[in-house]
Amino acid sequence: MDKRILVPTDFSKNALNAVRYALDLYARLNCEFYFLNVFRANSYTTDSLLIPEPGSAAYEKAKNKSEEGFIKLMGMLEVHLDNPKHSYHTISTFNDLSEAMRQTIAQKDIDLVVMGTRGATADREIIFGGNTVNAMEKIRECPVMAIPPDFSFSPPKEIVFPTNYKTTFKRKELSYLVEIARLHEATIRVLYVTKKPDLNEAQQANKKLLADIFETVEHSFHTLSDKKVSDGLTAFVESRNSDMIAFINHKHFFFGSVFSRPLVKEIGYEAIVPILALH
C-alpha cells in the first residue's frame, strides 16, 4: 500500500527544504506526495466579510499565483522527481492552513505531514513557525514531522525518543518511528531525563513494553539525572550528533514542556534536527 504524505508549502526556501527531506527520507517506499499551498487574495483580510468567490478577479489572480508557484517548485525538484516509486499531486486552495490540512488529511487518507519549521516570514526568536507549532499540537489524525531550516538530508542513524515511562505505549502509535528506524537501519535511543532515576513498578512495566515494541530495531536506554527535560534532551542530542527527535505528544503535556514559545530563550534550543510528533 502506498504511503500518502502531505507537505504544506508557501514556496519559501525552508518549505522547499522540507519537501526535499520528505522525498529523500521515503525514497525507497511507494509514496504519493500531496503538496499543499493555501493562497490569499490581497484584498481579503480575516476581518473582512467579503471573501472572494471563485471566478472573481481577486480569487483567480491569487489562484494563478499559487499554481505558478507549483510550476516553479516542480522545476526546482526535477532531480528529485524521477523516482518511479513516487507520484505527486498539487493542491491550491483558498482556506485557513489548519483547516486545509485537516480536509486534505481526511480526503486523501494522509499518513504523515512534513513541514518546515519556518516559513517565508521567519522569526529567528521562534523555534517553529506558528503554523508548525499549531500543526504539531492540534493535528491528531497522523504524525507531523518538522524539518529545520538548511537541514541537509542524510539517512538518520540515531533517533532520540524522550519519555518519562508514565504512559502505557501502543505499537500503533510508535509504528512510524519503528518504520523509519528499520528503513534506514537507525538506532533508537530512549532517553529518560529525571531528578529521580528510580522507576516505580508501573514505569518498569512500561519500559519493558517499550523494549518489546522496539525489538525489531536496534535500541538502547539512557537516563540523565538532575537536569530539566529540555536541557537534558538538548545536551543529549547535541553531544551525540543525533539525527532526529521523536516523541509522543500526549495532548499538551510533553510538547509544551519542551517546545512551547515561552521556553525558547530559556533553553536556547535551535532546532537542528527533524522532530517527529507522534499521536
Domain boundaries, the chain: 3-147, 158-278
3-class secondary-structure state, position 40:
coil
158-278: same fold as 3-147? yes
Instruction: Compute the half-sphere exposure of residue 69: CA atoms within 13 Å on the CB side of its CA.
Output: 23
Contact (CB, 8 A) for 144 and 277? yes
3-class secondary-structure state, position 213:
helix
| Mutual angle of helices 13-25 and 57-76, in 10-degree steps | 50
First to last CA, the chain: 21
**Cα–Cα distances in angstroms (integers) from residue 206 to residues 33, 215, 230, 272, in the given order:** 35, 14, 22, 29
184: left (phi over 0), alpha (psi -120 to 50) or beta: alpha
158-278 has which CATH code?
A: 3.40.50.620
Q: What angle do CA 38, 33, 14 make, to 5 degrees?
A: 55
Strands 158-162 and 31-38: unpaired
Going by the DSSP 8-state scheme, the letter that residue 236 receives in this structure is H
Segment 199-219, tens digit of pLDDT: 999 999 999 999 999 999 999
Segment 256-268, tens digit of pLDDT: 555 444 333 332 3
Altogether, the residues listed in the chain come to a count of: 279
How high is the mean pLDDT of the chain? Answer: 84
Q: pLDDT confidence of 50, banded at 50, 70, 90? A: low
Contact (CB, 8 A) for 116 and 104? no
Instruction: Tell me which of 3.40.50.620, 3.20.20.60, 3.60.110.10, 3.40.50.150 is the CATH number of domain 3-147.
Output: 3.40.50.620
11 grid coordinates? 514556496
Q: Please report the pLDDT score of residue 80 as a whole number.
A: 78
Q: Please report the pLDDT score of residue 119 as a whole number.
A: 56
44 grid coordinates? 481579503
Q: Please report the pLDDT score of residue 215 as a whole number.
A: 97
Q: Please report the pLDDT score of residue 267 as a whole number.
A: 29
Torsion sign (Cα): 174, 175, 180, 185: positive
Asked which of 43-52, 53-62, 201-210 is least confident by mean pLDDT, the reply is 43-52
Alpha carbons 127 and 117: distance in angstroms, whole number = 7
